[in-house]
A and B are shown apart, each in its own frame.
Chain A
Amino acid sequence: MSPSQPRAGTFAGAARGPILMIVIGVLFAIDHAGGAVISRTWPVILVALGAMKLWEYGARK
């Protein structure tokens, strides 16, 4: 299960997927633990995606 792309990437680009995975996991964990339900908290994923894109742009400069 090693990442398939052989091309070299930036740290921000490579870290984006794992961070997104953690965010999704945390949202589902909160949902299942009886906290805020995923149907309400899902926009956090968009916010995280946007923030990481910004980070990537910043890192590229």
Chain B
Amino acid sequence: MRGRSIIGPLLLMALGAVLLARNLYPDLPIGEYIANYWPYLLIFWGVMRLGEVVAWSTKGHPLPSHGVSGGEWFAIFFLILFGSGIHAARNFPRNFNVRVPWGDVDIFTEHYDYPVEATHAAAKAPQITIEDFRGDVTVKGDGENAVKLTGHKSIGAMNKESADESNGSSAFEITGDEANLIIRLREDRPRPQVRITGALELSVPKGASIRATRRSGDLHIRGVDGAVRVEGRGSDIDLEAINGPVSVDGAFAGTVRARNLTKQMSFNGRNTQFTVTQIPGELSVDAGDLTATDIVGPMSITSRSNDLRLTGFTNALDVTVQRGDLHLEPGKLPLGPMHVRSRSGDIQLILPEGAQFTMDASTGSGDISNSFGGGLQVEERGRRQTLKGAVGTGSAIEIETNRGDISISKGSVLSTPSTTADSVTGSVTKDGVTKNTVKKSVLEKVEQ
């Protein structure tokens, strides 16, 4: 017969001692102790139970299949609920902002808004630094030689008085000289529990260069001629009509979108890196997809896992993807060289009619289908298939995937998915005979 547990009696004694202490010494901050030190009761309980198991085991008593019974887990659950509840309640006056322990949800917090307005003279082409603060920022270039800040400051606090107090000791402001301006949140008495967020609009000279460090929120930059550099974390980044080089570096949870950029853009995200020479059209990248329409190469992309959809691109393309499906549809003739490597994923290449190139495609495990025709030869060796050959004289197209299907088909010049005419797709059967089937592009679009 195994020994009886001593935990129950010990817990009962501890509870009695605490209540006795409260009666004998009413001034003792028992609640405070419980709020801060209840996890040690859990640790103590666990250590005792473990000690029992070890003792039973060394004495050769039969062991229970579970060291902690279902009823005990039930009690532990209520201990955790009770303990963290008391802890949250105890810290209530100190924190304006009571956080639910597992989430970033503020409860008991009101948001109070205060207007923001500031102006600063600026040179024609100033360097503007947007410092790290929470909230959304929209930057617009216009013709004036001044930087104007408008919008509002939002303060999360328990009541209006404490929000007013925080408002009095903080400000979104423009500092620096005319050539180097800094937009920042000044906090004279920063308190970690008061959360100040901005929703700001910044109007800057058209020639301005922007450098922004973000912690959270959205950033939109539109219509500036200088360099733009964004780094940090945040949600959406939206860049439009920028005539200077653009670099984005950081971990962004939302979508990074770029439109109408006339100089190089480089992107260094957690999952994906790329550089592209110009973006007359649009490019967007989020956690799972990179989509670009009407872009100018040379372009190089490396990604751990992303589906890529590039339409209407020109010049050289270099893609390395660990995992993801690729849809590549170059827009203009002559074709630029393409070097595409993927570890796992299907690759679909749609080439304009009349394209000239030399093809060297291979998949380690998968099918190659060629409906472009043009005397390209499919070869099979085990599970490996290759497609080689030349159509006229043109750039080299090298495609390589370890696992996945490759399909080459014909599209029209400068085509986008919505304007593709009936396209021909084919598949190679196991005996190497090419079968061609005609599909409506509408069907293809539905599939995609």
List A residues at the B interface (Cβ < 8 Å).
Answer: 1-11, 13-22, 24-29, 31-33, 37-39, 42
In the complex, B420 has a CB within 8 A of chain A: no
Residues of B within 8 A of A9 (CB): 63-66
A30 CB → nearest B CB, Å: 8
Which residue of A13, A19, A25, A27 is within 8 Å of B66 (Cβ)?
A: A13
* A18 adjacent to B71 (CB under 8 Å): no
Residues of A within 8 A of B11 (CB): 1
* A39 adjacent to B66 (CB under 8 Å): no
* B5 adjacent to A15 (CB under 8 Å): no
B359 CB → nearest A CB, Å: 47
Bound state CA distance, A17 and B46, in angstroms? 8
Which residue of B4, B8, B39, B45 is within 8 Å of A32 (Cβ)?
A: B39
* B53 adjacent to A1 (CB under 8 Å): no
Bound state CA distance, A42 and B76, in angstroms? 16
Bound state CA distance, A2 and B4, in angstroms? 6
- Secondary structure of the A contact surface, majority rule: helix
Bound state CA distance, A53 and B418, in angstroms? 53
* A26 adjacent to B39 (CB under 8 Å): yes
In the complex, B271 has a CB within 8 A of chain A: no
Bound state CA distance, A9 and B2, in angstroms? 12
Query: Per-position contact with A for B105-118: 1 when CB-CB < 8 Å, else 0?
Result: 00000000000000
Bound state CA distance, A25 and B45, in angstroms? 9
* B36 adjacent to A5 (CB under 8 Å): no
* A19 adjacent to B46 (CB under 8 Å): yes
Check A32/B87 contact, CB under 8 A, given A9-B63, A42-B102.
Answer: yes
In the complex, B43 has a CB within 8 A of chain A: yes
In the complex, B373 has a CB within 8 A of chain A: no
Bound state CA distance, A8 and B2, in angstroms? 10
* A3 adjacent to B46 (CB under 8 Å): no
* B66 adjacent to A5 (CB under 8 Å): yes
A-B Cβ contacts below 8 A, count: 132
Please name the residue on chain B nearest to A16 by beta carbon: B67
Residues of A within 8 A of B85 (CB): none
Please name the residue on chain A nearest to B50 by beta carbon: A18
* B103 adjacent to A22 (CB under 8 Å): no
* A7 adjacent to B64 (CB under 8 Å): yes
Check A11/B53 contact, CB under 8 A, given A2-B4, A3-B67, A28-B80.
Answer: yes
> How many interface residues does chain B have, given as a range?
35 or more
Residues of A within 8 A of B64 (CB): 3-9, 14
Residues of A within 8 A of B35 (CB): 32
* B101 adjacent to A18 (CB under 8 Å): no
Bound state CA distance, A24 and B103, in angstroms? 18
B364 CB → nearest A CB, Å: 33
List B residues at the A interface (Cβ < 8 Å).
Answer: 4-5, 7-8, 11, 35-50, 53-54, 56-57, 62-73, 76, 80, 83-84, 87, 99, 101-104
* B65 adjacent to A21 (CB under 8 Å): no
* B49 adjacent to A21 (CB under 8 Å): yes
Please name the residue on chain B nearest to A34 by beta carbon: B36
Bound state CA distance, A37 and B44, in angstroms? 21
* B39 adjacent to A18 (CB under 8 Å): no
* B53 adjacent to A2 (CB under 8 Å): no
Q: Can you list 11 A-B contacts (CB < 8 A)?
A: A3-B67, A5-B69, A10-B63, A13-B63, A13-B66, A18-B47, A21-B68, A21-B76, A24-B39, A29-B37, A32-B87
Please name the residue on chain A nearest to B51 by beta carbon: A18
Which of B35, B36, B40, B65 has most A Cβ within 10 Å? B65
Bound state CA distance, A22 and B48, in angstroms? 10
* A21 adjacent to B69 (CB under 8 Å): no
* B45 adjacent to A21 (CB under 8 Å): yes
Residues of B within 8 A of A19 (CB): 46, 50
Residues of A within 8 A of B101 (CB): 31, 37-39
Bound state CA distance, A14 and B46, in angstroms? 12
Please name the residue on chain B nearest to A42 by beta carbon: B102
* A8 adjacent to B63 (CB under 8 Å): yes
Residues of A within 8 A of B68 (CB): 3, 17-18, 20-21
* A25 adjacent to B42 (CB under 8 Å): yes
Check A14/B66 contact, CB under 8 A, given A24-B42, A28-B83.
Answer: yes
Check A8/B65 contact, CB under 8 A, given A19-B50, A21-B46, A21-B76.
Answer: yes
* A13 adjacent to B50 (CB under 8 Å): no
* B39 adjacent to A25 (CB under 8 Å): yes
